[in-house]
Amino acid sequence: MSTAHEIFAGGTAVITGAASGIGEGLARHAAALGMNVVLADIDSSRVEAVAEELSSGGTRTLAMCTDVSDPHSVEVLAASAYEQFGSIRLLVNNAGVEAPGLFWEVPVERWHQLLSINVGGVVNCVHSFLPRMINAGEQAYVLNVSSIGGLSAGPLQSPYLTSKHAVLALSETLYLDVQAAGAPVQVSAVLPGAVRTRIYSSATGNGASGEGLRDQLDQYLSNGITPAQAAETILAQAADGAFWIGTQPEELTAFATYRAEHLAHLTPPAPFAPA
């Protein structure tokens, strides 16, 4: 097996949603592996602060205020990254948001906003970066961050879970398209479990039920692993060539097994319940 350092050291990583959470953890770990790091986020002040901290430790960085839902903003990110670093070895499509609440209590505008970020952001980044990666003719890696929820269903999370199922399907079909093209690009789907991020605490609950679930899930994440731990296991699995990447591999296996049995028996939707 190859180590992440052997695979990634000396290359350049582009990470969206890099100002906090898993994205920040990945940026810091990529820097520790010896990569140049392009940090993209809509939160310009925070992403610049993280980039400045990494730069002070000797990492070559580029901080970009990027709206992944805007194709032009993403194209500016790609052009700037290639202009400064010449090539990109690792692209992590991580930016994402939540909108807990009953399906019909989440405003249509919020639905569209979430889908444009969580799904559209991946589409935009793949369109801007993948052709450049293929043209370079060098081994490259594209990691799309779905969720353990991409293998399950649950109440009060319709927009988010819809988006994460979509990212998983997008990643599977992208993997096959890259294979069909014979391109030297590895595509992986990342399905995080409980990681200590602010995705729920920073979300706006929709209705009393949405606010309650937001607080409940925020508590659930507080008992998870750290973004640094998640980043280390994610890039280690990517270096080993995995398509399915879990921050807690045993949890990923449990969810996948549950999903497979659910589909095999065509049972009605039900949340995953640990045995």
The better pLDDT of the pair 238, 216 is held by 238
User: pLDDT tens-digit profile of 56-69?
Assistant: 999 999 999 999 99
Q: Which residue out of 82, 160, 175, 258 is catalytically annotated?
A: 160
Q: How many CA atoms lie within 13 A of 13 on its CB side?
A: 35
Q: Which residue has the higher pLDDT, 54 or 203?
A: 54
Q: How confident is the model at residue 240 (pLDDT cuts 50, 70, 90)?
A: very high
Can you tell me the distance from the alpha carbon of 52 to that of 47, in angstroms, rounded to the nearest whole number?
9
Query: Is residue 1's pLDDT more than 60?
Result: no
**Are the CB atoms for 149 and 201 separated by under 8 Å?**
no
Tell me, yes or no, if 220 is annotated catalytic.
no
Q: What is the mean pLDDT of residues 93-99?
A: 94
Please report the domains of the chain, with CATH numbers, ordered by start residue.
Answer: 11-254 (3.40.50.720)
